[in-house]
Structure 1
Amino acid sequence: MDEALELGAYLPQSLANASEQAYLDFLWSAFQTNYQSERYEFASLAFHLLYMSFVSFSIWQIRLARPDPFAMAMVGFRSDEEGSLMDCESPFKFYDRLKESQIFRFLKLIGCTNQQVGEFAKFVRRRNKIAHPTGTVFFNDRAAIDAEIADMMKEVGNIEAHMEPVILELYQRFLADRADEELWSFAVPGDEVTANLVHANYMSAADLAYCRAFDIESLRDEPGFEAKLALHQSLVALYPPDEIDDAA
């Protein structure tokens, strides 16, 4: 259970969309309730949906940071799928247009190999077996589901490690676009960070650890440094280090 709960550090710190937040809260509740009641088959299904949510948030960040390569990666899809993927207003909408296994191909844009993509996607095949009536219970005991969770968390860590350049691209773009305080959406730096960095980019605690570690002094000679510094300092204050930083 403890290792499963570590996934929370890789999911968004908070969501501006109340229905999306309620959905994640529901999945966590479903996982914990079924795990504690030893209904491990159903607990695994809930955890898989949390895992796929993490993947969809990562793909969303890739699309925001690298729209042109993302568009090129859609070559081979039907033309209507290409347009709808670029127009998705939420990471959860990706699955309205794609099969779950297809979403993993976009991880190649962050340097993941075909072999790695296959490792990330293998859980979809396992989940599909569980989600159909087979007459077999795959997770009969705690050891079995804990082993599956450990395997999934290993791949979560692998994906997050590849995401560091993407997160830093998003963060530096966020700062560059706010060199003039008059153009901020909010007068308070912390509010600007929460709304237009954390919520807009579905930033997790793990993502924000990369942002905190950014060398803000490297921007000192650029225009609007004081505004950027205020935003960075607010981020550090609002989202302090936790176990993610300790494990890095």
Structure 2
Amino acid sequence: MEVIIVERPQDAAPIVADACTSLLSAKPAAVLGLATGSTPLPVYAELVRRHREEGLTFAAARAFLLDEYVGLAADHPERYRAVIERDFTGHVDLDPAAVVGPDGLAEDLAAAGPAYDDAIRAAGGIDLQILGIGVDGHLAFNMPMSSLASRTRLKTLTPRTREDNARFFDGDLDRVPTHCLTQGLGTIMESRHAVVLGFGRAKAQAVRECVEGAISAHWPASVLQLHPHATVVVDAEAASQLAFADYYRTTYAGKPDWQGI
């Protein structure tokens, strides 16, 4: 696991965008894993800028979403498929048909998870997965005590998660879905490169536990310590509890430019 500490959240964007750019240059038909939420927005903005100003193309690429609400209508503005289109994919030349999410409207929700994992495998697997770490160490909707070997599956949203997400539903908790389909930790671990973003002092304990603590379902993101190519990019506040922060800064500063992340 490589840990990169930047001063501000916006400083992470060019680092992660460079990894995406290098991947697409070497493999135009790359498969990207996309997270929604506020954490990756600076990365998406930088990729959009490079597409518009520097000719970065996603025309041959494919993308898979981390999760999706269950039961939201196909045209609902808070469906994650709609959110990622607003935030990123609708601003680049990625074919809308090549952006896939779990089927939150499936008649057989039990089968929808395995079908999604099968679709990822059929596409050749995810080359680069963008992730955001939660304050409790969750990845996607894999909350604390999720199985570290879990696959894409139906999950019940916790009351805290629904309360936090009510702001996207005009503050009406009753309109927030109670279930989602989410990639499991085992599914995420199959990505070739996992890039985890974490910003702000509220994330400091989760970053410390998941990077330097024991591997435990208590802190789901800690499973990435076993990933063969995981990169954690955090700002100074999120890194404030890391015991080896000076080491991470030194090793990254001495890294050859050609090596990338």
Q: TM-score, normalised by structure 2?
A: 0.28
Higher helix share: 1
Q: TM-score, normalised by structure 1?
A: 0.29
Greater strand share, 1 or 2? Answer: 2
